[in-house]
Amino acid sequence: MESIKIKHPALGLKQEWLDLIRSKAAESESIGVLHQDILQLIYAEQWFNLLVPYEYGGMSHTLPEVVRLEESLAWADGSLGWTVTLCAGASWFAGFLEPAVAEMIFADKKACLSGSGAASGTAEVIPEGYRLHGRWKYATGIPHATWITANCVITENGKNCLDAEGNPVIKSFIVDAASVNIISDWNTVGLKATASQSFEIHNLIVNESQCFEINPARSRFDEPVFRYPFLQLAEVTLAANSSGMAVNFIDLAEGVFMERAARKKLKPEEAAVLTQAVSHAKNRMNTARADFYTALDRSWNILAAENAISAQVLNTVSRTSRELALTARQCVDELYPFCGLAAAVPQSDLNRVWRDIHTASQHSLLTFTKENS
């Protein structure tokens, strides 16, 4: 079957970027955080600002452009792609912040937002605003973050505040990174350089301007990206990371297979099996990627033209995101047994990519099908 024509993620990167990224990937993993040379590249290209409003110095890209770049970065290195994606995603909140707060944050050309979506803290209502307290997990990129976002259950006089349906009221807050305590507990098999540590806040007083609501109706800008639903925005950006990592693994595996064939290490029938396995993986990934980008581009074009996206269109975005993430993991696992013991050595590129994609696959957002989520 002929492969569907869709651009390889490599085409989204300059060669000098790729050379630098690949040369520092293993060292970044070893030190457990992105190498300083990689961070300097991020700052120079403003990748943390991909979704920041132009008025605050952001890049003003469309969402499809951002997703394709994030896939390319994940193809170059999983930890880089994941860190840029999660930190740029947090910076998207700039569209919902008080303007004075956002202007102050993004006046720093190395501004980087990190945080957690879990409501694992409390915000007690006090005359000055709120008193925050809690502990949050998995704050990607927090060692180089300048500001931290956290969701909190609102309390007053020690009791949960409830909404009209009787549910606890949850609000989002943004605080100076210097005011949180980072807990070095990120100890996973992959995505090591994302440094997705936990953090704590103890009795921190913040004012009302540091509280924000992630709601298209609350956006302070009219750009379509701030009217795109947060759930689908998160789904497409994370799915693109799995896709980029999987394409990288397939590329590396194909290189190993070709090298073994060239050294006559394979019988003709064995070489044919490997060739067929790579071709099958490429076709599956290209089909899933084509479906994914078709759904994403369609949803974006509809939003730009009509100012709204139907539930049916959004469901297609969610479904193709989950299918892409699942296909990425399955293709990697189907090729892995053919890669030889070199793929089991932690220092090899193949092993690092295998570990990265399996760590990324544990994110709960894309674990279940749309029907079960």
Q: Does 373 have pLDDT greater than 50?
A: no
How buried is residue 212: exposed, middle or buried, by Cβ count under 10 Å (0-12/13-18/19+)? buried
For residues 169-196, give the mean pLDDT.
97
For residues 155-163, give the mean pLDDT.
95
Q: Does 108 have pLDDT greater than 90?
A: yes
pLDDT given for residue 267 in this prediction = 87
The whole-angstrom separation of Cα 23 and Cα 14 is: 14
pLDDT given for residue 216 in this prediction = 84
CATH 3.40.50.620 for domain 9-95? no
Q: Calculate the dihedral angle through the C-alpha atoms of 360, 364, 369, 372, rounding to the nearest 10 degrees.
A: 170
The whole-angstrom separation of Cα 51 and Cα 228 is: 12
For residues 229-235, give the mean pLDDT.
96
Both structure tokens of 191:
């995505």
pLDDT given for residue 2 in this prediction = 40
Nearest to 334 by CA among 260, 250, 243, 251: 250
Q: Tens of pLDDT along 40-63?
A: 999 999 999 999 999 999 987 899
For residues 251-264, give the mean pLDDT.
90
Both structure tokens of 134:
């809690």
The residue that leads in pLDDT, 3 or 117, is 117
The whole-angstrom separation of Cα 351 and Cα 339 is: 10
Q: Does 4 have pLDDT greater than 80?
A: no
Classified by CATH at the fold level, domain 228-372 comes out as Butyryl-CoA Dehydrogenase, subunit A; domain 3 (1.20.140)
Domain with CATH 2.40.110.10 in the chain: 115-185+194-215
The whole-angstrom separation of Cα 278 and Cα 325 is: 18
For residues 228-254, give the mean pLDDT.
97
For residues 286-295, give the mean pLDDT.
97
pLDDT given for residue 145 in this prediction = 98
- The helix/strand/coil state of 345 is coil
- What rounded mean pLDDT belongs to the chain? 94
pLDDT given for residue 276 in this prediction = 96
pLDDT given for residue 3 in this prediction = 41
Would you say the C-alpha torsion 217, 219, 223, 225 has a positive or negative sign?
negative
Q: Predicted confidence band at 191 (pLDDT cuts at 50, 70, 90)?
A: very high
Size of the chain, expressed as the number of residues it contains: 373
Domain with CATH 1.20.140.10 in the chain: 228-372
CATH of domain 115-185+194-215: 2.40.110.10
For residues 171-196, give the mean pLDDT.
98
Domain with CATH 1.10.540.10 in the chain: 9-95
Q: Tens of pLDDT along 315-342?
A: 999 999 999 999 999 999 999 999 999 8
Q: Would you say 52 and 146 are in contact if contact means Cβ atoms under 8 Å apart?
A: no
